[in-house]
Structure 1
Amino acid sequence: MRTTFGTILVLLGCLLAAPAVAAYALVGEVTDQQRYLDAVEPLADDPDIHASVAGQINAALADKVPASAQPLVDQSVNSFVRSDEFRQLWITVNREVHPEVLAMLRGEEGGSLSVQGDAIVLDLGDVATLLRQRMTEAGAPFAEQIPRINASVELISRPAVRQLVPAFDLLEKLSVVLPIVALGLLIGGVAVAGGRGRVLVVGGVGLVVMMLLLVLFQFLARSQVTARSPKPELAGVFYDALTSQVMTIAWVVCGVGGIAILVGGFVAAAQSRRAAAAPPPPRRRASFSR
């Protein structure tokens, strides 16, 4: 009876493990601004980001500089998007847009320059100032003629985010409770069970299965986000950055599940050997009265 009850508790803990991991990792990484910036900062070195930003800037400057100077402008822009100045601009822009990302995930409506139409937009208008400064330092004769440009990068569409809003809202509310409850059920189930080896095996298998399902869900959600976003390649790398910790923790928990299976197998085998080696209980002699 104890083993059955422990198994039920462990299975309930396994069912809660996937949403607990998602709640703990995703909510923390998205709602905390510094963790958000740490996640998206490496995107400043992503080739897709470079290509998109450079393309937007070159298109904005195409009719504002002499045709003979366009190759030099293209070279300067490509150099700029790989520079430390662009990295700092990327961090600044993402710090400004972070409240809008959070508002979209929470389903909050509100006017903002960072949300245009149905997409979160990173405004790169300050690129022209930095680019003009770099080209002036390089001695380009037409550098001072470069005007302010309206360059932006569209990342995540509102329809794609709205698909995840109910889930995110629920995960945010349960981000502290779910991990505690799931861990408590897993530990409590193993503690109360009589056959702990078998319960450990069940719990390990359950954790592995649930983490694999979480990885599959992440893959499907990424497909939905990119398919509905104006820039699928950018939305993809942005999504990967924000969910990287979810995937990391999922694989760690999956490894823990594998270890639990091995340990449970050894414990169950040891329990079986002890039960087989134990002497049989003494038989009671029947007494007869005359």
Structure 2
Amino acid sequence: MPSQPSPSSPPPGPDPGVVLSADEHAHYKRLRRAAAVRHRKTRYASASLLLLLALLLAPAALVAAWVDDTVTDTDRYVETVAPLAEEPAVQEVVTDRLTARVVANVDVDAVVAALSKSLADAGAPPAVVDRSAALAGPLRGALTSAVHGIVQRVVSGPVFQQAWEGANRRAHANVVGMLTGDESRAVRAQDDAITLDLGTVVDEVKQRLVDQGFEKADAIPTPDRQVTLFETEQLSKAQDAMRLLDIMGAWLPVITLVLAALAVWIAPAHRVMLLVTACGVAVMMIVLLVGLAVVRRVYLDSVPSSALPADAAAVVYDTFIRFLRSAARTLLVVAVVTALAAYLYGPSRVARGVRSGAGRATGAAGRGLRDAGMDTGTTGRWLDGHRRWTTGVVLGLGALALVLWNHPTVGVVALVAGLVVVVLLVLAVLASATGGRAGGPAAEPGPAGGP
């Protein structure tokens, strides 16, 4: 009995040997080309959108990271504000303010009146008694000069600097008050102004003045311990922005980095997109640096000279944002280095010339080592056969070093970039210093992902 086909067996398909006609084959190729073009356009559009978002978020991400770092790290905050105690402009403001308050608490007119009465009681001539009233001005000037000298010595010495750093370290949480508008903090916002409470510092200075014989220094009132740092009608809006940046400080940089990485990965031409991304980041860092300069001008215009002299206000601003400015410059240098590396890996005449020259130089050095009896043998052959892989590992380790480095600077970026170049050159020399090349002369690295 003939066997019956299984019900679950698939029905016989069409003959796989069917041949398309010339017209059908041409139509098929046109459809494939159109689908490929649509796919590339979609990838370019998606990558461009991701890149645009990443570039727009880059300045805010850097500012958010700076805010989060300054607020949450006590050592970093103290490191930020500590130099203010050594700035002559800031010392002069504190000295003048304390001197004025001490002199104001000395009733010079009462002293002169008592002197006139004593002269009159002692039978001094009326002319002498009358002219004693003119001593008020010179007496006030002499008192001011004496107090100013004592206060200046105290403020310019180690006592003031230690008190300043100690007060800021103990009251580090007060920075949060400035950003959030919490009025219970020493650094707080009040009436559209940001004020710094120097209470601990003033107490130290007052004690030194009392020890020097100026008992009236102990009467310096509490309200005069405050120094206005910033005053503007837009403070409430700035506080809202700073609160948002504080919240996003941990996530916004990560989101920005992921968006940029996705843009490079999705784009059909990875190298070109990496070059464009690096150039875009460099431009945004320049925009941020220009913005900081503009904000500096606005800040200086917003602080009344009666509250804080222009030179002291400039010192306060420059000191407080110096780490943000340094981070922007560092990221600018990283972007430029990345763009340069992406360009040199491309097909341009200059890039090919640089790669060819480097290859000839390392090859000659490797042959010189080999002729001198320093054949790298199996290791050299392995390095020669895995040049692309080893290059990628070295570049990745360099990038990882910058990511893990605590607050890298422009000097750190230059150091890491120099070490990466040196390691790549050494590996290339070792790969050339072998007698039996694994695959012949290594091919010159070509462009990846587009023209």
TM tier, smaller: 0.7 to 0.9
* Equivalent residue pairs, number: 267
Partner of 1:281: none
**3-state secondary structure, aligned to 2:228:** strand
**Deviation at residue 56 of structure 1 after TM alignment:** 0.5
Given that residues 160 and 228 in structure 1 are in contact (C-alpha distance below 8 angstroms), is that contact kept between their aligned partners in structure 2? no
One-letter code aligned to 1:77: V
Closer, same or farther in 2 for the Cα pair 1:163/1:47, shift >3 Å?
A: farther
Question: Bigger CA drift: 39-48 or 89-98?
Answer: 89-98
Higher relative contact order (CA 8 A, sep 6+): 1
Given that residues 64 and 245 in structure 2 are in contact (C-alpha distance below 8 angstroms), is that contact kept between their aligned partners in structure 1? yes
Matches within 5 A, 1:121-160: 121-124=196-199, 125-126=202-203, 127-133=205-211, 135=212, 142-144=213-215, 146-150=217-221, 151-152=224-225, 153-157=227-231, 159=233
Q: Give the alignment partner of residue 260 of structure 1, picking from 299, 321, 338.
A: 338
| Residue segments in structure 2 that go unaligned for 5+ positions in a row | 1-39, 109-138, 353-442, 447-451
Q: Give the alignment partner of residue 182 of structure 1, picking from 246, 253, 256.
A: 256
CA distance in 2, matches of 1:10, 1:33: 35
Q: Give the alignment partner of residue 291 of structure 2, picking from 202, 206, 217.
A: 217
One-letter code aligned to 2:332: C
**3-state secondary structure, aligned to 1:28:** helix
| Residue segments in structure 1 that go unaligned for 5+ positions in a row | 136-141, 278-290
Matches within 5 A, 1:55-134: 55-64=96-105, 67=139, 68-95=142-169, 98-108=172-182, 110=183, 118-124=193-199, 125-126=202-203, 127-133=205-211
**3-state secondary structure, aligned to 1:268:** coil
Q: Is residue 269 from structure 1 mapped to residue 347 from structure 2 by the alignment?
A: yes
Partner of 2:245: 171
Q: Is residue 194 from structure 1 mapped to residue 268 from structure 2 by the alignment?
A: yes
Look at both structures and tell me which one has the larger radius of gyration over its CA atoms.
2
Question: Bigger CA drift: 159-168 or 210-219?
Answer: 159-168
Given that residues 175 and 187 in structure 2 are in contact (C-alpha distance below 8 angstroms), is that contact kept between their aligned partners in structure 1? no
Partner of 1:287: none
Q: Give the alignment partner of residue 308 of structure 2, picking from 208, 222, 231.
A: 231
**3-state secondary structure, aligned to 1:20:** helix
Partner of 1:286: none
Question: Bigger CA drift: 265-274 or 74-83?
Answer: 265-274
CA distance in 2, matches of 1:148, 1:87: 23
Partner of 1:52: 93
Given that residues 204 and 261 in structure 1 are in contact (C-alpha distance below 8 angstroms), is that contact kept between their aligned partners in structure 2? yes
Given that residues 275 and 338 in structure 2 are in contact (C-alpha distance below 8 angstroms), is that contact kept between their aligned partners in structure 1? yes
With structure 2 as the length reference, what TM-score do the two structures score? Answer: 0.53
Partner of 1:35: 76
**Deviation at residue 15 of structure 1 after TM alignment:** 2.1
Q: Is residue 247 from structure 1 mapped to residue 325 from structure 2 by the alignment?
A: yes
CA distance in 1, matches of 2:219, 2:170: 19
Partner of 1:20: 61
One-letter code aligned to 1:47: P
Question: Bigger CA drift: 250-259 or 225-234?
Answer: 225-234
Question: Bigger CA drift: 202-211 or 261-270?
Answer: 261-270
Pairwise CA RMSD: 3.0
With structure 1 as the length reference, what TM-score do the two structures score? Answer: 0.78
One-letter code aligned to 2:251: V
CA distance in 2, matches of 1:114, 1:12: 35
CA distance in 1, matches of 2:246, 2:169: 21
CA distance in 2, matches of 1:70, 1:235: 25
**3-state secondary structure, aligned to 1:206:** helix
Give the share of equivalent positions with the same residue, in percent: 26
Given that residues 210 and 217 in structure 2 are in contact (C-alpha distance below 8 angstroms), is that contact kept between their aligned partners in structure 1? yes
**3-state secondary structure, aligned to 2:220:** coil
**Deviation at residue 114 of structure 1 after TM alignment:** 6.1
Closer, same or farther in 2 for the Cα pair 1:112/1:196, shift >3 Å?
A: closer
Given that residues 203 and 260 in structure 1 are in contact (C-alpha distance below 8 angstroms), is that contact kept between their aligned partners in structure 2? no
**3-state secondary structure, aligned to 1:194:** coil
Given that residues 100 and 120 in structure 1 are in contact (C-alpha distance below 8 angstroms), is that contact kept between their aligned partners in structure 2? no
CA distance in 1, matches of 2:294, 2:53: 24
One-letter code aligned to 1:148: A
Query: C-alpha offsets along residues 95-146 of structure 1, whole Å, 9 cap, x if unaligned?
Result: 56654442232244x456765654414234412113333x3xxxxxx34564
One-letter code aligned to 2:148: D
One-letter code aligned to 1:247: R
One-letter code aligned to 2:178: M
